């Protein structure tokens, strides 16, 4: 979120955290961040034993990691000897697991006053695999399934005789059989012969495939409001189809993504529950979350005033994992009372119907709007993280708008009753590797809104917008990442004065051009009112560098322009630059940025601070 600078007060700045905006002094925050970073660092640990000998560098690193560190040096030679023996035992186990079955190891102690533990290692010759053998026990799979399982063993003659690969191959055999419908496939103890004369490892896998499993319907075995027929309709298989664990996992994911259950269990019934047709059902257990949650909150902003919210969310009232959210908000800028209904898997799996209605009272610097707002959208999931949506929205109410008259160069106030009908279409494609902290891949968001305005003014226009982000790791470990962003917007078919103010483009703030306050990039009217435009250009470049222990340093430059033609003309292009720090947590990084406007105008702050969860883009 951005932290707008109150105009004319460049020595202080506003910070927004969790919806609460506070005015603080920069030196205090910088000092706190420095203390936070210092407390996270600790002294280097002492290795439990030194590893010596002629060996591959990667193998040495593995042994060093396995031996590990100690908090302090050994107190005497007896303690050093104990550490050396333990380290030698650990190293021998690792060497054998890596295929070195004839290593030579010596545990040593050097020094009298300050003894150190040493392990001298000669790994010897590395053993290699022979061709693996699968010994099929009753019940055997079909020839096709057996061939497919053999093809997925993943090891071959001549490969290093690593224990982890021998074990993993057994798991791949079972996984292959399970995917082909043999849900009860199991292994008996494998036989692995290590030939010290031939320097080979010969694995034999003993596998029983069990019967081919075909599926019945879905059994919901927990009581609750959810309609069992609705759950059964979500199953991605038909009765009599061959068992596939991916289908069972997909049903679980479809139920979890509704967000109305604290827990979901989906599992194949045991063999004794096979029906007369030879089919087995899938058992679903659902743990419902609280059916009603009431939340209250308050916000304060030096730029946007104060507000209070009361939100009540009701779950599963219709027995189909629905969510009803009702909100009452009283605020200086945006007051509203409304409700949103979400119906997941509407008609087909992955499609969500969203209905919303609200009465709103918006009072911003650029306009005031009192309106009834209605919307209906269908969103279809594509894969795990991508989607497209389409729908319609209707806003009807009274608009008081401050606009710019290009003939007189003076503000003009429009007082109008308007009805705004909007078609809504959008898509989101996510090919990145992480939703909150991506290091590779790309994302694209695009939307198109054909709009008709009726009432005291009429207009027809199309508002289109697209944003793309891309992430490029510089090294294999992705410790350094270059992140880029490009956003374009255009309103076609109507001029600035014909488009309602809430549909125009603005720029500036934590989500666009950092260093400027919210909407601070756009030109201003003579009375300092933000002026919205009919075109938009924004771009960002970030360099992210991991520092270790969860910290990351970031440097960035942003650029943005709001124009008054149908397409961006870059006439009002402004730049912001800065740096920041990230602290990575399991749910995503905490972000703190400081940014400076490079094209500072009268009234712009010297800098802005942004604090939020997740990367800037």
Short-list 71, 72, 109, CA closest to 88? 109
The CATH code for residues 46-122 is 3.10.20.310
Both tokens of residue 74? 């050994």
Which pLDDT score, from 0 to 100, does residue 7 have?
36
| pLDDT at residue number 17 | 38
Query: Which whole number is the average pLDDT over 130-150?
Result: 94
Q: Which of left, alpha, beta for 588 (phi over 0: left; psi -120 to 50: alpha)?
A: left
Assign domain 214-288 to a CATH class: alpha beta
Model pTM?
0.72
For 412-458, how does the pLDDT look when each residue is reduced to its tens digit (9 = 90+)?
A: 788 899 999 999 999 999 999 988 889 999 999 999 999 999 999 99
Nearest Cα to Cα of residue 387 among 345, 355, 430: 430
Whole-number pLDDT of residue 304? 53
Find the helix packing angle between 77-97 and 57-67, rounded to 10°. Answer: 130
Nearest to 195 by CA among 94, 283, 120, 125: 125
What local confidence, expressed as pLDDT, does residue 300 receive?
61
Whole-angstrom CA distances from 111 to 64, 76, 81, 115, 198 are 21, 10, 11, 4, 41
Beta strands in 123-185 (DSSP E): 128-129, 133-137
E strand residue ranges, 511-602: 535-548, 551-563, 574-585, 588-597
| Contact status, residue 540 vs residue 616, Cβ threshold 8 Å | yes
The model's pLDDT over 202-255, given as tens digits with 9 standing for 90+, comes to: 999 999 999 999 999 899 988 889 999 999 999 999 999 999 999 999 999 999
Q: Could you read off the pLDDT of 373-385 as tens digits, one per residue?
A: 999 999 999 887 8
Helices 163-179 and 143-151 pack at an angle, to 10 degrees, of 150
pLDDT digits (tens, 9 = 90+) for 460-478: 999 999 999 999 999 888 9
Question: 528 or 25, which is more confident?
Answer: 528
Can you give the pLDDT at residue 437? Answer: 86
Across 64-68, average pLDDT: 94
pLDDT at 195 over 90: yes
Residues of the chain with CATH 3.10.20.310: 46-122, 128-208, 214-288
What pairing do the DSSP bridges indicate for beta strands 46-47 and 104-110? unpaired
Please say if the pLDDT value at position 10 is more than 50: no
What percent of the chain lies above the pLDDT cut of 90? 68
Residue 52, pLDDT score: 95
pLDDT of residue 334: 87
What is the predicted pLDDT for the residue at 36? 41
Q: Of 315-324, 522-531, 602-611, where does mean pLDDT reach its minimum?
A: 522-531
Query: Which of 198, 191, 199 minimizes the C-alpha distance to 134?
Result: 191
Q: Measuring CA to CA, which residue among 368, 372, 457, 460 is closest to residue 416?
A: 457
Distance of CA 462 to CAs 60, 421, 425, 519, 592, Å?
63, 12, 11, 22, 36
pLDDT score for 199: 96
3-state secondary structure 63-78: HHHHHCEECCCCCCHH
Output 100 or 588, whichever has higher pLDDT: 100
CATH number at 128-208? 3.10.20.310
Predicted local confidence at residue 45, as pLDDT: 64
């Amino acid at each position: 979120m951005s932290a707008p600078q109150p105009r004319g007060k460049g020595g202080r700045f506003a910070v927004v955290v969790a919806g609460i905006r506070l005015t603080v002094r920069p030196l205090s925050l910088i000092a706190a961040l420095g203390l936070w970073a210092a407390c996270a660092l600790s002294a280097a640990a002492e290795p439990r034993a030194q590893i010596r000998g002629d060996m591959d560098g990667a193998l040495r690193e593995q042994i060093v990691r396995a031996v590990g560190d100690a908090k302090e040096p050994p107190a005497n030679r007896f303690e050093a000897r104990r550490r050396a023996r333990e380290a030698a035992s650990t190293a021998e186990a690792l060497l054998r697991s890596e295929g070195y079955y004839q290593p030579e190891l010596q545990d040593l102690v050097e020094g009298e006053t300050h003894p150190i533990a040493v392990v001298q290692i000669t790994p010897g010759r590395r053993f290699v695999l022979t061709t693996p053998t699968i010994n099929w026990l009753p019940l055997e799979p079909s020839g096709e399934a057996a061939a497919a399982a053999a093809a997925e063993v993943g090891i071959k003659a001549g490969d290093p005789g690593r224990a982890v690969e021998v074990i993993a191959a057994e798991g791949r055999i079972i996984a292959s059989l399970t995917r082909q419908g043999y849900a009860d496939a199991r292994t008996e103890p494998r036989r692995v012969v290590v030939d010290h004369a031939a320097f080979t490892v010969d694995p034999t896998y003993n596998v029983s495939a069990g019967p081919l499993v075909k599926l019945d319907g879905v059994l919901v075995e927990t009581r609750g409001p959810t309609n069992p027929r609705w759950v059964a309709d979500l199953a991605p298989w038909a009765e009599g189809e061959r068992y596939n664990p991916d289908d069972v996992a997909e049903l679980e994911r479809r139920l979890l993504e509704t967000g109305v259950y604290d827990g979901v269990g989906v599992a194949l019934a045991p063999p004794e529950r096979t029906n007369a047709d030879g089919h087995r059902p899938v058992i679903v257990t659902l743990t419902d979350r609280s059916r009603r949650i009431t939340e209250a909150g308050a916000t304060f902003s030096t730029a946007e005033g104060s507000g209070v919210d009361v939100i009540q969310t009701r779950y599963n009232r219709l027995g189909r994992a629905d969510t009803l959210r009702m909100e009452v908000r009283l605020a200086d800028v945006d007051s509203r009372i409304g409700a949103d209904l979400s119906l997941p898997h509407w008609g087909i799996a992955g499609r969500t119907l969203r209905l919303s209605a609200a009465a709103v009272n918006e009072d911003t610097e650029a306009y005031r709007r009192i309106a009834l707002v209605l919307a209906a959208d269908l969103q279809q999931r594509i894969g795990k993280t991508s989607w497209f949506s389409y729908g319609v929205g209707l806003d009807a109410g009274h608009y008081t708008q401050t606009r710019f008259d290009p003939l007189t160069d003076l503000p003009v106030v429009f007082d109008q009753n308007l009805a705004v009908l909007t078609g809504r279409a959008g898509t989101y494609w996510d090919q990145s590797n992480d939703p909150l902290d991506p290091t590779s891949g790309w994302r694209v968001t695009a939307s198109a809104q054909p709009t008709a305005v009726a009432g005291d003014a009429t207009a027809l226009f199309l508002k289109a917008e697209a944003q793309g982000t891309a992430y490029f790791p510089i090294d294999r470990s992705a410790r350094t990442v270059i992140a880029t962003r490009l956003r374009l917007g255009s309103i076609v078919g109507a001029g600035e004065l014909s488009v309602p103010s809430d549909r125009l483009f603005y720029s500036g703030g934590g989500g666009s051009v950092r260093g400027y306050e919210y909407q601070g990039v756009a030109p201003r009217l003579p009375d300092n009112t933000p002026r919205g435009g009919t075109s938009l250009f924004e771009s960002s470049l970030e360099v992210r560098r991991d520092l270790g222990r969860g910290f990351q340093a970031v440097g960035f430059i942003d650029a943005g322009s709001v124009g008054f033609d149908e397409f961006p003309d870059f006439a009002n292009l402004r730049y912001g630059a800065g740096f920041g720090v990230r602290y990575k947590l399991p749910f995503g990084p905490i972000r703190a940025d400081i940014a400076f406007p490079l094209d500072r105008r009268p009234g712009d702050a010297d800098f802005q601070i942004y604090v939020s969860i997740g990367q800037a883009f």
